[in-house]
Structure 1
Amino acid sequence: MNFEKIEQAYTYLLENVQSIQNELATSFYDALVEQNAIYLDGETSLEVVKNNHQRLKELQLSKEEWRRAYQFLFMKAAQTEPLQANHQFTPDAIGFILTFLIDQLAKSDQVDVLEVGSGTGNLAETIVNNSRLEMSYLGLEVDDLLIDLSASIADVMASSVAFVQGDAVRPQVLKESDLIVSDLPIGYYPDDAIAQRYQVASSEGHTYAHHLMMEQALKYLKPQGVAIFLAPNNLLTSPQSDLLKAWLKEHAQLLAMMTLPESLFSNPAYAKTIFVFKKQEEGQMQPFAYPFTNLQDQDEIVRFMESFQNWLQDSEI
């Protein structure tokens, strides 16, 4: 990976977005979607954009270099037009941990992956670019802007990831997947009538959206598949946790739980834990547990990987 090329690509992309933003009097994110469309079809009267696109093509960026350049763009945009907390991209440190877990837990070198609530697409591209596996990867996202961003970036990168728009709580026509991944949004689902179709539904007030998404997501999981969720630290102790635990007891089995450092998150209230589940089967096993303290410490990452591999070998999942 060439960091000098990434910095150059970021500079060209940023100049393009700002030029388009000024021309159209629009938001940074809408201008980014437009810049991606122009890169693909070449239709623009802005000479600076045309020239920068030629320079971008001459860089011959790899998919991971493209991803990093776009990530820097999102970080720049956050200074003036921050996305809401649930729409921000998953940090790379977490993305690489999830990639490791997927590589270890996959039953085959060719897997179908479904990401529920795929956001800007950064996590999807992180996993696909860095996994040892051959993946058929589908991202499902309800938000109009986020699906436009993720799909247009994937087109520019010539990524194999596919993105479709849809409400992850409502039933979708999707095939079963070997792996389910989700950096779950934190909050309440607004449609109580839809929520009441679920076992985790609250009888009073709105139901947690992340509970509903977990229940729905497992319906798309193959019998021997694995679901990996980034969920609030208080997932199993929150006010509606009894409803979730009752559903889990019938339908899912906890395989692993890894707490993440609060320093990774903009607000400790948004801190999350990695939960790994499979569909409920007969027999019990000892879940893997690991408390991360510093994801920048390579020695700790190595200890975690060795611990997980040893647990996996002993568990015979």
Structure 2
Amino acid sequence: MKWLGVAWSGLRRHFSSRADGVGSIYDKLFVVQPRFHPPLLLKAKLLEALRLANSLAPLTATDLKSDFPSYVLVQGRRKINAGTYFGAGTIDNIRTHLNVIDVEDREIDAVFVNTSLSGVQQRNLEDAWERPVLDRVGLIIEIFGSRARSKEAKLQVELAALDFKRTRLIREKGERKAFGAGGEQEVVSARGASGGGGRGFTSGSGESELQLQRRRISDQKHKIQVALAKAKQTRSLHRRNREGIPLVAVVGYTNAGKSTLVGALSKSSLYSDDRLFATLDTQVRSVILPSGRRVLVSDTVGFISDLPTQLVEAFHATLEEVVAADIVLVSTLL
């Protein structure tokens, strides 16, 4: 047993947000988008992937990136490779693109693959391309980690990161090489079941170390859940204090103009940004209708297609604001 690690180095530090709390260490990404049908859906998915990749720049940046990151469309696979997701030809093709970027002296911090990868797939792709790899779940958690401002939002993101980290515990034996050649890798799932089918790796000090890692993650999760439960009680008290005043929750796709709408209705200043997930904290503003009646309007966290389940569960407390609303107003992009 050589060592126990976590696939994707960013999650070894929970999230890789900068020391100043702004942005991420993965500002410049190379996007890999698998092809699929119909073409119209592929176009939408590619645009979403590019916008996600563009959303890691610090929110305080005054020179927002107007150009999309570099990307490559690769052939989708009917049968997923358990070790690398892609076939050897596709991996070599992507490596060629990355080599060209290196020759042109263009800076790339990581490769973003717009799909869900297992821990072994992610680690093997990192070996093959010799740079960090983010899948869809990891990138969205990374974005949320760079956006969180309030204590509750940071706790919710940390909870999601811990769930993700637990699925990324990897054991290795022997020297690591690309695609697992000359070494063996396995992921221990959240249920503790070995993905390697035995072969001598399920006992001894390595197993004890894995159990220790899982217990530490469970302990951290429990502390966060206790803190979030207290925050939930505080929100319930605030809602009771607002009883009798209608609540309108503004929901919609991320970056659909929800914060701008709430700010305009309430004639107040709310932060808005042309990148995804600029708002992670529910904000409530008072609005006086033309009839003279007062209502409360709530700005909520935006949605996205295929939102990782870790984030849905972690932000359950925040989404309670929508459940408690008298009216749900959907903000859409035209």
TM-score by length of structure 1 reads 0.29
- Greater per-residue helix proportion: 1
TM-score by length of structure 2 reads 0.28
Higher RCO (C-alpha 8 Å, min separation 6): 2
- Which has the higher Rg, Structure 1 or Structure 2? 2
